[in-house]
């Protein structure tokens, strides 16, 4: 299912900012501001899957919680289905809670161990009164069938299930409200590889059956490429590149995206030489004291004086991507030109490497029945 590029945005963020104060004492004015999310702008349209990637600590999960208003927003604007919910109160947000749901990374921590599965899934139905009490048992069975679990499991407790089964229960609880948007925060990172494939299969099947829109936060770039229609790359609280997934993976425009993709493990054919990685040098800046110019300037191999003094804004490119870089890589320039052996011959073309990963992951998914 492809997203309609002409449809009105389902969720739209403009210059979204979330900051925390650290080191605060009893003295007025003490503490330092940490910009966890720094001026993020993005748009997600109905039936689209936006993959959100970046290093640990770059602000992906915080952004996901801001987009669902689990965290308050300090600056910027957030609109859901055309309505500004940036400063909405809990009462004002209540009608929107049904339309946006979140799936968390650790299903064990997100499920109350003292309650049966049936009670956990039924709770939002009772709170929002969207089903009568007589209809709830049938709805619970329907939800369990959707996520591939027997209805008999409704009487069990969370500790009686495996990690993959608990994640399916978390998905069923999110689907109970019949949402249009689901923010999935690292939903497969805590699972075994074979279980990951099953859960990713489930996400894709539910997207087709229920016309869902996803914001899919993950570290595994092969998974992101497989499930996402668009990808956004975050670095130190800001989005540095976004666009159609194939374009971002095949011809990255930002040096950080380029380095990130080169770190993906690639299966090597017998007799082939090792693939050369792009090793970033320099220090990772502290989010408490980011550089005055480009945040990536301390590690960028193409840094200039302009980069150190002027912060680049996210700007569109002719091919449909947007990049926050003063000197974006040419769209026609293949990443493989930076991955050469000492004899000058290309060891591995990066585009082919990423495609092989995606194909291998696709084969794994097809062999994992739900």
Q: Give the domain CATH number at 147.
A: 3.40.50.300
Regarding whether 337 and 256 lie in a shared domain, the answer is yes
Same domain, 62 and 185: yes
Return the pLDDT at 357. Answer: 42
**Residue 341 pLDDT > 90:** no
Boundaries of domain holding 95: 46-67+88-235
Mark whether 287 and 220 lie in a shared domain: no
Render pLDDT for 352-361 as a digit per residue (tens, 0 to 9): 444 444 444 4
Residue 35 lies in a domain: no
Report pLDDT for 269. 67
Instruction: Indicate if 59 and 144 belong to the same structural domain.
Output: yes
Does a structural domain hold residue 197? yes
Is residue 137 located within the same domain as residue 286? Answer: no
Q: Do 255 and 220 share a structural domain?
A: no
Tell me the mean pLDDT in the region 31-37: 90
Residues 256 and 225 occupy one common structural domain: no
Read off the pLDDT of residues 284-320 as tens digits, 9 standing for 90 and up.
888 888 999 999 999 999 999 999 999 999 999 998 8
Q: State CA 16 to chain mean position distance.
A: 16
- State whether 194 and 294 are in the same domain: no
Euclidean distance between CA atoms 195 and 206, whole angstroms: 17
- Mean pLDDT of all residues belonging to the chain: 85
pLDDT at 1: 55
Specify whether 194 is located in the same domain as 259.
Answer: no
Whether 61 and 204 share a structural domain:
yes
Structural element, H or E, at residue 173: helix 163-175
Tokens of 233: 């790359």
pTM of the entire predicted model: 0.83
Other beta carbons within 10 angstroms of residue 344's beta carbon come to 6
In a shared domain, residues 58 and 193: yes
Report the relative pairing of strands 83-84 and 75-80 from DSSP bridges: antiparallel
In the block, tokens 């993020």 appear at 40
- Residue at token pair 């003295």: 27
Rounded to an integer, the average pLDDT of 345-369 is 42
Residues 295 and 159 in one domain: no
pLDDT of 61 > 60? The answer is: yes
């Amino acid at each position: 299912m492809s997203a309609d590029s002409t449809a009105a945005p389902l969720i739209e963020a403009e210059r979204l900012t979330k900051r925390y104060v650290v080191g605060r004492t009893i003295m007025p004015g003490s503490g330092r501001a940490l910009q966890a999310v720094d001026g993020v702008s993005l748009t997600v349209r109905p039936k689209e899957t936006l993959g959100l990637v970046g290093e640990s600590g770059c602000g992906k999960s915080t952004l996901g919680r801001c987009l669902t208003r689990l965290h308050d927003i300090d600056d910027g604007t957030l609109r859901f289905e055309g309505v500004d919910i940036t400063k909405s109160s809990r009462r004002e947000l209540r009608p929107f809670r049904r339309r946006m749901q979140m799936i968390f990374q650790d299903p064990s921590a997100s499920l109350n161990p003292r309650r049966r599965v049936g009670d956990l899934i039924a709770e939002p139905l009772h709170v929002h009164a969207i089903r009568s009490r007589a209809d709830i048992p049938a709805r619970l069975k329907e939800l369990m069938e959707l996520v591939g679990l027997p209805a008999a499991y409704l009487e069990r407790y969370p500790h009686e299930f495996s990690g993959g089964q608990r994640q399916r229960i978390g998905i069923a609880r999110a689907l109970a409200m019949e949402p249009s948007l689901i923010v999935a925060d690292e939903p497969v990172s805590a699972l075994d590889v074979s279980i990951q494939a099953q859960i990713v299969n489930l996400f894709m099947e539910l997207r087709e059956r229920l016309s869902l829109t996803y914001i899919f936060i993950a570290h595994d770039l092969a998974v992101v490429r497989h499930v996402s229609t668009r990808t956004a790359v975050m670095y130190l609280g800001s989005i540095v590149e976004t666009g159609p997934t194939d374009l971002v993976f095949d011809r990255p425009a930002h040096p950080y995206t380029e380095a990130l993709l080169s770190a993906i493990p690639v299966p090597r054919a017998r007799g082939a030489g090792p693939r050369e990685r792009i090793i970033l040098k320099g220090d990772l800046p502290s989010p408490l004291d980011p550089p005055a110019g480009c945040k990536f300037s301390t590690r960028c191999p193409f840094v200039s004086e302009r980069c150190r003094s002027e912060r680049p804004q996210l700007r569109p490119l002719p091919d449909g991507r947007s990049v926050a870089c003063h000197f974006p890589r040419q769209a026609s320039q293949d990443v493989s030109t930076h991955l050469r052996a000492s004899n000058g011959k290309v060891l591995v073309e990066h585009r082919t490497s990423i495609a092989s990963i995606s194909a291998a992951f696709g084969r794994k998914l097809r062999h994992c029945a739900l």
